[in-house]
Homo-oligomer: A and B are copies of this chain.
């Protein structure tokens, strides 16, 4: 068995006896390597209590069998050092709170043809499971634009925003990755079996938890850090104040990724989390995929102009003509002489200009004098 194979087997073992995001065991594995950490678990006489649980599970762990079974179902176990290992995950080194989750995973279980070292620039599109139709629409539209622009979309597999994001990316024939809290061989929620099957055949499904693992709350928390770490930025589409998407956003922030949020109506509870992120300066407001591309693009790439309304008829006038137009009453007509007084110009010149303006409908000539044309009146947003 080569050194690499030995290390992979050791890491598979550690993966089987620890929970995703176990800061202590994952941290030590990163520092010592899997083989050495296993030796410690097996041989150290006086193990610190936080390692006893893992050590206690060693007897029941059968990594060879699990790896074989996985391979048979075309599930691979990718570990640091593999060509496919996504270097972005190494940013998780040392990251995490003891009682929460964190650290670089010892390995990832992957299903599907999309290699993790070929994601290219990736964007997380996350949000509430109980999203509104508005949230689903925006998530799908945004993912489609990102996918069409060659960005890999990364999300969970939940109802609502996650599903809409994958759907949008697939529709635009972009790349998309689902990161699960359960085993990559499980369809959770069951209603998404068809989508997960599609991603497994054409894209990628990733999990830190071994095949067969059930979705546990603790695994969702650990999973969120992977979504943040695998991507250059996280877009929160709709998130209530208690949404897991905010957990993903705070991981993205901790990892110095770009955090973005989509606004909604202030009367919608589903947008409260996104609004709080923007209000507190924790996220940049984005309204469309192009905004995201601009924020994540290399300097000079995807630069957007400040959004302006298209030129109105007024913009094409000479300064002189505008001076006159600005002096024409909105509602009740005025004589050319009074317009001239307001504009501070000669009456003859003003009468000429008014006749010209009337031709394009800027002004209209009533029996009692001149006033703004209907179209212009409607653009005065007073």
Q: List residues of A whose CB falls within 8 A of some B CB.
A: 19, 52-54, 57, 99, 128-130, 134, 137-138, 156, 158, 181, 188, 214-218, 220, 223, 239-245, 262-267, 271-272, 275-276, 278-280, 284-288, 291, 306-309, 312, 319, 325-332, 334, 341-342, 344-345, 372, 379-382
Contact = CB atoms under 8 A, between A and B. Distances in A.
A381 B280 CA distance: 22
Contact of A284 (B134, B279, B291): B279
A238 B288 CA distance: 18
Output the residue of A137, A264, A279 with the most chain B CB within 10 A. A279
Nearest to A52: B344
Contact of A265 (B130, B134, B244): B134
Contacts of A244: 380-382
A262 B279 CA distance: 11
Contacts of A278: 263, 278, 285
Nearest to A159: B382
Contacts of A380: 217, 220, 244
A287 B306 contact: no
Question: How many subunits of this chain does the assembly comprise?
Answer: 2
10 contacts: A137-B267, A138-B266, A214-B330, A215-B329, A220-B380, A240-B381, A241-B307, A263-B271, A272-B287, A275-B287
A13 to B, nearest CB: 15
Given A134-B267, A214-B332, A242 B381 contact: yes
A220 B331 CA distance: 13
A329 B216 contact: yes
Contacts of A137: 267
Output the residue of A307, A319, A330 with the most chain B CB within 10 A. A330
A330 B333 CA distance: 72
Nearest to A326: B218
Given A57-B341, A279-B291, A128 B381 contact: yes
Nearest to A190: B331
Given A181-B382, A341-B57, A266 B288 contact: yes
Given A158-B382, A285-B278, A344-B53, A215 B330 contact: yes
8 nearest A-B pairs in the assembled complex, by CB-CB distance:
A53-B344, A263-B263, A242-B309, A266-B287, A241-B309, A218-B326, A214-B329, A244-B381
B265 A264 contact: yes
